[in-house]
Amino acid sequence: MVMNSGKGLKLFFCIFIILLALIPANFGLCKTRSKPVVIIPVEGKVGPAMASFLKRAVAEAKSQNPEFIIFEINTFGGRVDSALDIVDTLLSIDKIRSISYVKTKAISAGALIALSSGRLYMKKGTTIGDCAPIAYSKEGVKEMGEKFQSPLRAQFRALAKRNGFSERLAESMVSKDKEIIQTIKHKVHYYFGKHEFNELPEKTRAEYKFVKTIVKKGELLTMDDVEAKALLFSRSSVNDLDELFDLLKINKNDVEKIRQTWSETMTGYLIVISPILMMIGLAGIYLELKSPGFGIPGAVGVTCLVLALASQHLTGLANYTELLIILAGFVFLGVEIFVLPGFGIAGVLGILLVFSGMVLALQGFTLPSPEFPWQMDIFIHNIIIVLGICIFSLFLSMAVFRYILPRMSLSGKGPFLDATLEKSHADSFESLKLNLGDKGIAISFLRPSGKADFNGNRVDVISQSEFINKGEIIKVIELTKNKIIVEKQEVYDV
């Protein structure tokens, strides 16, 4: 059989192309680059600084189009509003790529964050759960009521639906008014509130076999890694990150960890001490307004206020609006002090603007929303904080005026007068040229003190032993310190 030359050339050309394509692969010349894996730590107290860092870190991680974004969690929780901001950030990631790894603990707001990823893995011996909203009062820690629990339960239900675990179990991390039981039907586990289960029709209830009580009434669901896996919250328990990498078939060389920058760390510290910075700032500016020129108090005050407001701005709590409100308040106070007499509308308006600006700078909302009841608590707390700042700054400025500024006056070498004005006064005997025996006229009734005229000088005098009528002639009989003792001049005196 003779092969057609045209067909033979085509076949040879196809084989050549295939061999050419295989050569780079065989010699390692076109290795496929694997996608990176990004680790983001979630450590410390949940607050505005953490929310700001995670927002920046997730945006940076997403820009790399990673295979996985792993959140390494170790927190006891913190502010509810910051936790919800973090949840929104985590939900912006593709569910398949986001992973939570509980390194030590994920308690309270930490549990909410951990369950926001598509998958959960836990290190052996770690815990998760107990997300009841609490508040601190004079009586100590108290659990917030239904008004606060309801929106949190709704958030946990949404996460349960998204990630495929029991909604009732998720809700039991927030509220402890229900007893949750585990049942089995056709080898599948179902979870009910005990009261809810007892209300099922008897025929339906008979289809489920009671297994055990998972959460007793009056308790919150808190799980270790073994329980979390058994209840289908966690995919697996591992010894460390290396074991998690092996489980997910991750090459360690592809792992990158995003850490806080020095500015984010500094911002976290400044957020904690921002009330103190505001107090020092107000005291410094008040001292500067009450003293001439622009010196150390003004510089310290402005620096402290700028640091406090900058930390709030960097975490997203404050923006330029709050800064402008505070600046406008100081302008009105300056007008009241230097331009307008007394204390009126400008002063009151200035105080209100500074106070409002500082309150707004401490929160991420303007007015509390009924949809988020904890915002009212934050709002009231911030008002109390700012009131305390204003009061303590006033006391601080008074203490500086009284004890520090007098000691800061400078002295130098040179000739000085030894005499002092310690014993001098405006109506001293030397200035009045009064001597013992001088005569004058009583220009008021002396009972026993009153007014007298000596050589055209009006002075205060005291009668020694009797009342003297107005118009009587008197004589100086004693000069002691600033007192002039007189008596009535008798007609036979010469």
pLDDT digits (tens, 9 = 90+) for 192-250: 988 889 888 988 888 999 999 999 988 999 999 999 999 999 999 999 999 999 999 99
Spatial contact of 38 and 68, defined as CB atoms under 8 Å apart: yes
Strands 209-215 and 236-238: unpaired
**Residue 263: what are its φ and ψ, rounded to 5°?**
-70, -35
Task: Decide if pLDDT at 294 tops 50.
Answer: yes
Confidence label for 28 from pLDDT (cuts 50, 70 and 90): very low
For the chain, give the percent of residues with pLDDT over 70: 83
| Residue 223 structure tokens | 């799980």
CA distance 293 to 446: 51
Within a domain: 310:
yes
Is residue 27 included in any domain, yes or no?
Answer: no
Q: Do residues 113 and 232 share a domain?
A: yes
Q: Which of 177, 182, 204 is nearest to 192 (CA)?
A: 182
Q: Which pair of structure tokens corresponds to residue 231?
A: 């209840």
Output 482 or 38, whichever has higher pLDDT.
38
The answer on 474 and 383 residing in a single domain is no
Scored b (16 or more CB within 10 A) or e, 277-296 reads bbbbbbbbbbbbbeeeeeee
Lowest mean pLDDT, pick from 246-255, 315-324, 329-338, 484-493: 484-493
The parent domain of residue 340 ranges over 262-403
Please give the tally of structural domains in the chain: 3
Round to whole Å and give the CA distance between 434 and 454: 8
The residue with greater pLDDT, 161 or 341, is 161
pLDDT for 308 equals 87
CA torsion angle for 396, 398, 399, 403 (degrees, to 10)?
Answer: 150
pLDDT of residue 27: 42
Looking at residue 493, its pLDDT comes to: 46
Q: What is the pLDDT of residues 357-399, one digit of tens each?
A: 899 888 888 888 887 777 888 888 889 999 999 889 888 888 8
Dist CA 153 CA 142 (whole Å): 18
CATH of the domain at 465: 2.40.50.140
> Exposed, middle or buried: residue 473 (CB in 10 Å: 0-12, 13-18, 19+)?
middle
pLDDT, residue 62, reads 92
CB 194 within 8 A of CB 179: yes
**Is the distance from CB of 241 to CB of 99 less than 8 angstroms?**
no
260 and 53 Cβ atoms separated by less than 8 Å = yes
Answer yes or no: do 483 and 392 share one domain.
Answer: no
| Cβ contact 192:210 at 8 Å | no
Which of residues 403, 438, 458 is at a domain's end?
403
In a domain, residue 166? The reply is no
- Which amino acid is present at 491? V
Report residue 353 as tokens. 């603007």
Single out the residue of 134, 141, 394 nearest to residue 290, CA to CA.
394
Q: Is residue 21 part of a domain?
A: no
Verify that 231 and 375 share a domain, yes or no.
no
Averaged pLDDT, 21-42:
62
Domain boundary (348, 369, 403) is at 403
- 417 found inside a domain: no
Instruction: Check whether residue 231 and residue 89 sit in a common domain.
Output: yes
How many CA atoms does the CB half-sphere of 357 hold within 13 Å?
24
Map 79-93 to HEC letters: CHHHHHHHHHHHHCC
Nearest to 133 by CA among 92, 168, 85, 84: 84
The β-bridge partners of 222 are 129
> Does residue 312 share a domain with residue 233?
no
Q: Specify the range with the lowest mean pLDDT, choosing from 79-88, 180-189, 415-424, 470-479.
A: 415-424
Judge whether 411 lies within some domain: no
Comparing 424 with 270, the larger pLDDT belongs to 270
pLDDT exceeds cutoff 80 at 47: yes
pLDDT given at position 31: 42
Are 358 and 468 members of one domain?
no
CA angle 391, 395, 400 (to 5 degrees): 145
483: enclosing H helix or E strand: strand 483-488
Domain with residue 118: its CATH number is: 3.90.226.10
Query: Do both 230 and 319 map to the same domain?
Result: no
Place of tokens 């405006």: 426
Q: What is the mean pLDDT of the chain?
A: 82
pLDDT band at 481 (very low <50, low <70, confident <90, very high): low
Evaluate whether residue 449 is within a structural domain.
yes
Question: Which residues in 231-326 belong to E strands, given as ranges?
Answer: 236-238, 255-257
pLDDT computed for residue 4 by the predictor: 52
395 and 266 co-located in one domain = yes
Q: Taken in order 232, 238, 240, 245, is the CA torsion positive or negative? A: negative
Tell me: do 123 and 227 sit in the same domain: yes
pTM, 2 dp: 0.69
pLDDT above 50 (res 32): no
pLDDT, mean of residues 249-274 = 88
- Please say whether the beta carbons of 180 and 143 come within 8 A: no
For range 15-36, the mean pLDDT: 51
In a domain, residue 196? The reply is no
Residues in the chain: 494
Name the more confident of 363 and 29: 363
Identify whether residues 385 and 332 lie together within a single domain: yes
- Pairwise pLDDT comparison (96 vs 280), residue with the higher score: 280
Longest dimension (CA), the chain: 176
pLDDT given for residue 257 in this prediction:
93
| Same domain for 284 and 382 | yes
pLDDT the model gives residue 23: 47
Residues 156 and 115 sit within 8 Å (Cβ to Cβ):
yes
Q: Please, which residues have CB within 8 angstroms of residue 472's CB and are 6 or more apart in sequence?
A: 441, 442, 488, 489
